[in-house]
Structure 1
Amino acid sequence: MFHKLYAMKQILLLTDFSANSKNAITYALQLFEKQACHFLILHIPTKSIYSTSDLMTIGNNSIYDSLVKKAEKKLDKFVKTLEATSNNKHATFEAIVDYDMLTDSVNQIIKSKKIDLIVMGTNGVTGAKEVVFGSNTINVIRKVACTTLVIPKGFKYKTPKELFLPLDVYDSLNSESFLKLKRFAKKFNASFNIMRIIENSVVSETEKTDREHINTHLNDITHAYLLVKNIRLDQAINQYLETHEKMDMLTLLVQKESAFERFLTGSDTKKISQNLKVPLLILHSQ
């Protein structure tokens, strides 16, 4: 049954027509198949996708116009396939081809279309620190202040019932980003598995504050709370996911200059992303 309690969501889907991006789009359509959604499918062609034969067959036509039309035709065909196969009768679709830088284009669309969520797949090996995420994914997470869902390669959809939320010393269970995550959890009747990573010196006060916020905000949601002391971020996350195989989604509250911002830009990215086997939901603190 259609969830009337939720207004139409504006969801931006990024595609380069790779298997990873198509799999991420499939996940998104299944995740929101019972909610009214307007899906905007963005494709940004790169020069490398055009072969010499493409340029030779253009003839006297404008090279730019010809390449734009080719990209638009390919995306329109893809979007029509999504419309035909979608089980969501309350979904609408819009194709967008842009030639701007990825993050610039995404930020412009977020502002003009009031996007609620970005969904993207991992985009391959582009750097030693980004073995799984890829540079496009990292750039969107770092430079675009919008909730972003990243789907790992080959991950097949299942309803997110168990959410894993690691917290660093800067994260609050009373922040707007956490309350947004709570609304997401309630929509799917999901439970929270919260792990606070701290130093010994801040244990008592942090735990007290956390438990106060948990009593306030999670009294109607199944949850577990764990304190972890003096352990590296990537180790704590990987060890938890290895021993809790039923987790359906990893969620992070990201804010500038926090440990998670450093995680996204430093060597920890490689260490965590190599073992990432579940979707990653990023919520930005304002």
Structure 2
Amino acid sequence: MRHHILLPTDFSGNAWSAALYAINLYADEPCTFYFSHAWTFLNTGARTHVSESYLDPLKAKSKEKLAAIKDRAKIESKDRDHKFETFFCIGSLMDSIEIAIKKHNVSLIVMGTKGATGTQEFLFGSNTVTVINKMRQRPVMLVPENVNFVKPTHIAFPTDFNRFYGEELKSLKQLADLHKSQIEIVHINKKEQLNEKQHSNLEMLNTYFKDYEHNFNWITESGKKEQAITSFIEDNDINILTMINYEHSFVENLIKEPIIKKMGFHSIIPFLVIPRVD
């Protein structure tokens, strides 16, 4: 099966880091990677009308940059079954992503995230927050700036066992298949015992992952969830964090700006956000 992966780029270093991570993550898989750029012109000057003769060279410059990234990726991916295409779109980032999904049957979006800014730590930039909030069609992998690829031997999947799991888990299995990763299911205890519904969902997970190396990990809640997950990541050499973005879920709370500014949860490893399936 050939994977079709979208790599949005603003030509920044962290966008390239994300692309490089994706190329290495799928090193042994047949893939077509699409470098996409959403081009917009902000008329901040005194011009009320901007002629095509002025805009066309700007568009051409962006297309040249896309072509250069494509050539650079080909060099990085030598001798692999990888193809690279470019996709130039006039409009917003979300416009470009949605068009690419329809046009190229994209199965995964891989984006770069910015690191710490000054004395404050930010997990996501505004563009990333927009994509996570609005993207309900495909999973999105967020890759920290300057991250070095490490074979993902352990993938963390935090859950409260309160929801029935369906097609969402297919993305997690596909990710684990790439490098035969062990899935670390993490539950933060609020109560000493699970209720009947939680027990049922736990058993369903155990059955669903019966052909995969997996563990159930129990953490006693003693503070913020994001702090507990961060500690688990650091203490257990977790390489990728995955979560399902249900409505009113932890992911939804995580990307709200007031929490981001206060939290110690820093974007230290790639983070796969899986959209819920209604």
The CA distance in 1 between the partners of 2:73 and 2:249, in whole Å, is 38
Contact 1:234 1:268 in 2 (8 A): no
Is 2:20 the partner of 1:9?
A: no
1:131 Cα deviation from its structure 2 partner: 1.6
Indicate which of 146, 150, 173 corresponds to 2:142. 150
The CA distance in 2 between the partners of 1:105 and 1:264, in whole Å, is 22
TM alignment of 1:103-118, pairs within 5 A: 103-118=94-109
TM alignment of 1:55-94, pairs within 5 A: 62-94=53-85
1:71 Cα deviation from its structure 2 partner: 1.0
Contact 1:41 1:94 in 2 (8 A): yes
1:171 Cα deviation from its structure 2 partner: 4.1
Query: TM-score normalised to the size of structure 1?
Result: 0.83
Q: Aligned with 1:141: secondary structure?
A: helix
The CA distance in 2 between the partners of 1:148 and 1:273, in whole Å, is 22
Contact 2:36 2:96 in 1 (8 A): no
**What does residue 212 of structure 1 align with?**
203
Give 4+ residue runs of structure 1 displaced > 6 Å after superposition: none
Point out the more displaced range, 140-149 or 196-205: 196-205
TM alignment of 1:1-286, pairs within 5 A: 7-45=1-39, 47=41, 62-123=53-114, 131-145=122-136, 146-168=138-160, 170-172=162-164, 174-200=165-191, 203-228=194-219, 230=221, 231-244=223-236, 246-271=237-262, 274-286=265-277
1:239 Cα deviation from its structure 2 partner: 2.4
1:207 Cα deviation from its structure 2 partner: 4.6
1:186 Cα deviation from its structure 2 partner: 2.6
The CA distance in 1 between the partners of 2:112 and 2:67, in whole Å, is 20
Q: Which amino acid aligns with 1:11?
A: I
Query: TM-score normalised to the size of structure 2?
Result: 0.85
**What does residue 3 of structure 1 align with?**
none
Deviations 1:16-45 (A, max 9, x none): 111111111111111112111111101124
Residue segments in structure 2 that go unaligned for 5+ positions in a row: 46-50
Contact 1:11 1:40 in 2 (8 A): yes
The CA distance in 1 between the partners of 2:68 and 2:201, in whole Å, is 49
Q: Which amino acid aligns with 2:166?
A: S
Point out the more displaced range, 254-263 or 188-197: 254-263
The CA distance in 1 between the partners of 2:178 and 2:202, in whole Å, is 23
- Give the RMSD, CA atoms, in angstroms: 2.9
Residue segments in structure 1 that go unaligned for 5+ positions in a row: 1-6, 53-59
Deviations 1:67-119 (A, max 9, x none): 11111112112212212331354221111222211112211211222110001
Aligned length: 270
Structure with the largest fraction of helix: 1
Contact 1:79 1:95 in 2 (8 A): yes
Contact 1:15 1:42 in 2 (8 A): yes
